[in-house]
Amino acid sequence: MNNKKGFTLVELAIGLAVITILILAISVSAGIRDNARLQSAANSVRSIRSAAENYLSNGNLNYANLTFTALQTANLLPASFVAAKSNPWGGDFALEPNAADNTRFDVGLTGINAAQAAKLTSYFNNSGSSAYDSTKNIWTATF
C-alpha cells in the first residue's frame, strides 16, 4: 500500500521555502551592489569637486582651464586617477568649466541610467544643480 510515488506536502513546503530564501538573497545582494556603486560614484564626485575647488587656491582666478590633467599637475588629484571607463558603471568621469559661467564647473558621469542619476541627484541636491540627459545617459552636476 505504500507504493505511492511523489513528494509529501512537507517536502514541497521545504523546497518552496528554500527557493524563496534564495530569491530573496539574490535580490538583496543586487540592492547592496547598486548602493555600493552609488556610494562609490558619490564619493568620487565629492573628491573631484574638492580638488576642483582647491584649484582656485593655487592662483587660478576661475575654472576656464580646469581639466583632470590640470588637477593632477597641481597634485590635487592622484596621478593614478583615470577618468575613462572608471566610474562604477563602466562609464567615464567628465570635468569641464561650466559653459555659461567659468566661475563654476561641471562634473559628469556617462553610462548611467535615469534611476541611478536620480539617486545621485539626491546626494547633491543641496550643493549645486544637476541634470540627466537620457538620450546620452549622462548625469552632470554643476558646482
User: What tens digit of pLDDT does each residue of 44-83 get?
Assistant: 999 999 999 999 988 889 999 999 999 999 999 999 999 9
Residue 4 placed within a domain: no
Determine phi and psi for 134, rounding to 5 degrees: -70, -20
Residue 81 in grid coordinates: 586617477
* % of the chain exceeding 70 in pLDDT: 97
Query: What residues make up the domain containing 126?
Result: 9-142
**Please, which residues bridge with residue 1 across strands?**
none
The reported pTM is 0.78
Contact of 143 with 127, CB cutoff 8 Å: yes
What's the CA gap between 83 and 48, in Å, rounded? 11
Q: Is 26 exposed, middle or buried (0-12, 13-18, 19+ CB in 10 A)?
A: exposed
The number of domains in the chain is: 1
Contact of 66 with 105, CB cutoff 8 Å: yes
Name the least confident of 3-7, 106-110, 112-116: 3-7
Residue 86 placed within a domain: yes
Residue 1 placed within a domain: no
Spatial CA neighbour of 100 closest among 140, 59, 127: 140
Residue 48 placed within a domain: yes
pLDDT, mean of residues 25-33 = 77
